[in-house]
Amino acid sequence: MPRSPQPVLETVPNVSDGRRPELLDRLAAAASAHPGVALLDASRDPDHHRSVLTLAGGAGPLVEALVALVEIAVDEIDLRRHRGAHPRIGAVDVVPFVPLAGTSMSEAVAAARELGRRIAERFSLPVLLYEEAATAPHRRRLADLRRGGFEALAGRLADPLWRPDFGPPRPHPTAGATAVGARFFLVAANAVLDTGDLVIARAVARAVRESSGGLPAVRALGVPLPSRRRAQVSMNLVDYRRTPPAVAFAAVEREAAARGARVVERELVGLVPEAALAGDDPATRALADLWADRVLERRLDAG
Query: Catalytic amino acids?
Result: 86
C-alpha to C-alpha distances, 115 to 70, 118, 122, 170, 282, nearest whole angstrom? 10, 5, 11, 19, 42
Q: Return d(Cα 111, Cα 297) in angstroms, integer.
A: 21
C-alpha to C-alpha distances, 212 to 101, 205, 218, 222, nearest whole angstrom? 33, 9, 10, 13
Q: Return d(Cα 198, Cα 209) in angstroms, integer.
A: 16
Classify burial at 199, counting beta carbons within 10 Å of its beta carbon; exposed 0-12, middle 13-18, buried 19 or more: exposed
Sheet containing 218-225, strands listed edge to edge, beginning at the edge strand earlier in sequence: 218-225, 230-237, 187-193, 263-269
Task: Report the DSSP beta bridge partners of residue 54.
Answer: 41
Q: Return d(Cα 113, Cα 135) in angstroms, integer.
A: 10
